[in-house]
Homo-oligomer: A and B are copies of this chain.
Amino acid sequence: MATKEKNPDKGVENGKEVEPKSAEEIFEEFKEHSVAEFFTKNKQMLGFSGKVRSLTTVIHEYVTNGLDACEEAGILPDITVKITSVQEEHYLVKVADNGPGIPLDHIGRALGMMLSGTKFHRYMQQRGQQGIGATGCTMFAQLTSGKPIHIRSSTGNGKVYECNVSVNIKTNMPNVSDVQEYEGEFRGVEVMAEFADVKYDRSEYSPLEYLKRTAIANPHAEISFIDPEGRKVRFPRVSESLPERPHEVQPHPLGLESHTLYELMRISPARKVSSFMTTELVRVTSSKVDELRNVIPQFDFDMSPKDVTWEDARRLVAGFKKVKWVAPSAEGLRPIGNDQIEISLRSLLSPEYLSVRSRPPKVYKGGVPFIVEAAISYGGKSGARTEAGSVGGEIMRFSNRSPLLFDAGGCAITKAVKGIEWKRYGISDFDTIPVTVFVNILSAFVPYTGAGKQSIASEPEVVDEIKFAVMDVARDLQRYIAGKVREETRATKRKAIIRYIQLLSEHLPMLANTGNKEDLEKKLTVLVFDKFKADEAEEDKKEKKTRVLMEEEGNESDSDSDGKIEFDEEDM
């Protein structure tokens, strides 16, 4: 053993020397804990912070699960939500869907075990992607009301079951109890759960607002809501067309990270790297493999994927970046569509002007394709009421058709919209104009900043793409506003001239000493307005020139974004 000597690092606490505590003493405290314990202590990371937000989070989790299940099964969704008051700040929430149901042997893990589910490992556009949300609600029900959640479900085979589900927080294992089975005509899932320490209101962060926005982005869904005071709100289905069923897509070589490629190859049944690439990645043709052979000649494309080392994978990824690729397909992504967005926003905001645009798919890190849909709405009920009572610019954020109501500050959508030089688009100050900007991001994997999924991380490609999409619609609005200003100026001019003509006509007869006032007025009007029209035509010509210049500018900024990922347009 080493001799104990005076320790030179020894600190002083309140004037007294401190004897160091040993590693052994400290590590006596070493413990493991489950992911359910982690999220019990960090509920706010799942969106359970604040009484209003917590209740909206519950509605969000159940409604997105219902919509995802219906769409995967190919069923037009009918969602009903009912919130009943139990006592002060304590509610019973009931959410039912007409989806495919959950088989009894999966119900425990689906709703009572975190990090399990059908979505996490698949490369598919769905609202849920983590396997945490629904179990988070079960946990939150237990923590605040002390009660398990109650489920009624059937896969539509004539047999219905009901049961209670809870999660063992120490072990993250599900507990299913009080199972009853009976015959009945029902298909889908109905969740009934009690939550305390939550609050229902009708603010912009409320379940009502959440459902309203869900309806905007999901015109194929029928949504009914009964609030705690018994008021019923119905958001009717406005489209009978189900979005294309989501399906898995293969990764695109561009931006694939070494570790992902390495993992994919380790489990690949392919016998050669070349065949792995042409069968398990998109946009890899055998001629593309030949091109790569030239770019990284030291790499053996004939070896087995299982023999590829991590370092080989890294070299392959580096090689991918040196050749041109066809952009990934958007076939796995299901945009809302310009027409549907227009119908929704017109009915919600009755705007004076509306422009909707979709942009072609792009890729961000990890070979993940994504699409941005954007709209701008002006006038009518557009914009948000500020605290001072005036109307200012509003940003409506969506990802994979789910409304994002919270954590706006850190979100890529907010950053992109606020980062636009609005003055360039005829808007002197975004915060003082009646404008609503709508943005929906679609991707098989949306990079959320937190498990609460209310805010999108600022991946540079994503921020740029949102910016360009909003700039597209802003440019449309700019033309409208410019036209409106021109029209107003003209109207003012016309009025002034008419007043002038009237005045002139009043007095000219006296001055000219002729009795026919009407005749004189008519003649003067024709004369002046002919001149006026010629002036306007000249102005229009000028405006058209400016517009062309502006569009060229716009295209420039687009190619800035593409600069990061080079696509071989000819191959497309």
A19 and chain B: residue at smallest CB distance: B74
Contact A11 B220 (CB under 8 A): yes
A131-167 interface with B by 8 A CB criterion: 131-132, 142-144, 146, 155-158
Contact B38 A130 (CB under 8 A): yes
Residues of B within 8 A of A460 (CB): 50
A202 to chain B, nearest CB (A): 20
A550 to chain B, nearest CB (A): 24
Contact A72 B38 (CB under 8 A): no
- A34 part of interface (Cβ distance < 8 Å): yes
Residues of B within 8 A of A69 (CB): 26
Contact B12 A241 (CB under 8 A): yes
Contact B73 A13 (CB under 8 A): no
Residues of B within 8 A of A297 (CB): none
Q: How far is the CA of A14 from the CA of B243 in the complex (A)?
A: 8
- A122 part of interface (Cβ distance < 8 Å): yes
Given A33-B120, A259-B143; A450-B242 close (CB under 8 Å): no
- Selected contact of A45 from candidates B258, B408, B451, CB within 8 Å: B451
Contact with B along A275-286 (1 / 0, CB 8 A): 000000000000
Contact A245 B18 (CB under 8 A): yes
Given A27-B103, A157-B1, A244-B13; A20-B109 close (CB under 8 Å): no
Given A33-B116, A33-B131; A9-B103 close (CB under 8 Å): no
Contact with B along A434-454 (1 / 0, CB 8 A): 000000000001011111000
Contact with B along A1-19 (1 / 0, CB 8 A): 1100001011111100011
A62-113 interface with B by 8 A CB criterion: 69, 72-76, 78, 98, 100-103, 106, 109-110, 113
Given A18-B245, A130-B42; A1-B146 close (CB under 8 Å): no
A interface residues (Cβ-Cβ under 8 A, vs B): 1-2, 7, 9-14, 18-24, 26-27, 29-35, 37-38, 40-42, 44-45, 49-50, 69, 72-76, 78, 98, 100-103, 106, 109-110, 113, 115-118, 120-122, 130-132, 142-144, 146, 155-158, 196-197, 220, 240-245, 257-259, 262, 309-311, 313-314, 407-410, 414-415, 445, 447-451, 455, 457-460
